[in-house]
Amino acid sequence: MAVTRFQFLSTFSRQFSSISNAHIVQPKLRIEEIRGKRISIFDKEYKRQQSLIPRLEKIEVAYEGFDNETTTLVMNKGVSTPYNCAQHISEHLMKNSVVAEVNGEIWDLHRPIPSDCTLKLLSMKPEDQHQASLVNKTFWRSCSYLLGAVVEGSFQDDISVTLHSFPPANVRSGSFVYDVQLSLDDWVPSLNDFRQIAATFQKFVRQNHTFQRLDIDSSVALKMFEDNVFKADQIPHIATKSSSGNTVTVYRCGDHIDISRGPMIASTSLVGRCSIAAVHRLDSRIYRFQGVALPSEIYINHFAFGILETRARKLNPARTPELKSN
């Protein structure tokens, strides 16, 4: 699997397996089996949607570059993506673009373009302040997603790990967040635990996984996440807020699939130095994992990054997840 499960929690596994009140929150398969099932559903639905494209139609994409320079590209409707456009323009754009603007709407770099449009490609250092805010939120949101991917695959099989959700990106909070339910009472991770989670995070992002977006019917989403009671409960509410009233957006990155409205960054290679700063216990065995990261093209010294880590250790003020009683 893409996120390597490591052994740092084996001690906790043995300890909590022998304590009567350390029950499994819900029956679960091995995470590899769950992920394999989700990927199978994702691939099947993706192929189904691709088959609905009867024939290739051409569209015109007006790329707006620096100094209002415009380049018109002829691309394939519903197939070509902003990334494909970048490939036709320059290698620099292809490697450094984080997210796109399609007709003024923030857009995933690997999301197909549905019609004639204007296109802008945004890097991690846009001059426009509004664009900079959008890029920062996209980066933070993607890091939360990746944190969930890493945490889900980090514990031994006898510890239940159920991803709940991550709050909207808020760069000013000082940390990206994922709230996770663990079948552990009052777990306090060690410094080594933090280091190993961070090491696994770094290993995952260095594998240069792209983020693949797919809009699916809520019935497909429910089947995909039937092993997660929280996601299954959230899906109907999420679907009602979609433009169709019955659609959920999911992203695949490596062997991990999760729900998010997006957009996400183009690939994990855009994530540089990172740290898992804190784990705070909330209610009902929900633990808030918090991290901090820099884009790969931004470098700061150890002292400055330490200041960011210290800030990221404080409990993120994002709303606590609402849990239904079982």
Helix (H) or strand (E) holding 117, with range, is strand 117-122
Please report which confidence band the pLDDT of residue 323 belongs to, taking 50, 70 and 90 as the band edges.
low
For domain 58-123, the CATH architecture is Roll (3.10)
| Topology (CATH level 3) of domain 10-46+133-312 | Threonyl-tRNA Synthetase; Chain A, domain 2 (3.30.980)
The pLDDT value given to residue 109: 98
Please report which confidence band the pLDDT of residue 284 belongs to, taking 50, 70 and 90 as the band edges.
confident
| Cα four-point dihedral sign 264, 268, 270, 274 | positive
Q: Quote the percentage of the chain above a pLDDT of 90.
A: 76
Query: Cα–Cα distance between 313 and 319 in angstroms, integer?
Result: 17
The reported pTM is: 0.89
Q: Cα separations (Å) of 194 from 156, 162, 297?
A: 16, 19, 24
- Name which residue leads in pLDDT, 136 or 1: 136
Helix (H) or strand (E) holding 302, with range, is helix 302-312
Q: Can you name the residues that pair with 251 across neighbouring β-strands?
A: 213, 258
Residues of each domain in the chain carrying CATH 3.30.980.10 = 10-46+133-312
Residues of each domain in the chain carrying CATH 3.10.20.30 = 58-123
User: 146, 253 in Cβ contact below 8 A?
Assistant: yes
- Model confidence pLDDT, tens digit, residues 34-92: 999 999 999 999 999 999 988 889 999 999 987 778 999 999 999 999 999 999 999 99
- Model confidence pLDDT, tens digit, residues 211-247: 999 999 999 999 999 999 999 999 999 999 998 999 9
User: 257, 232 in Cβ contact below 8 A?
Assistant: no
Give the amino acid at 151: V
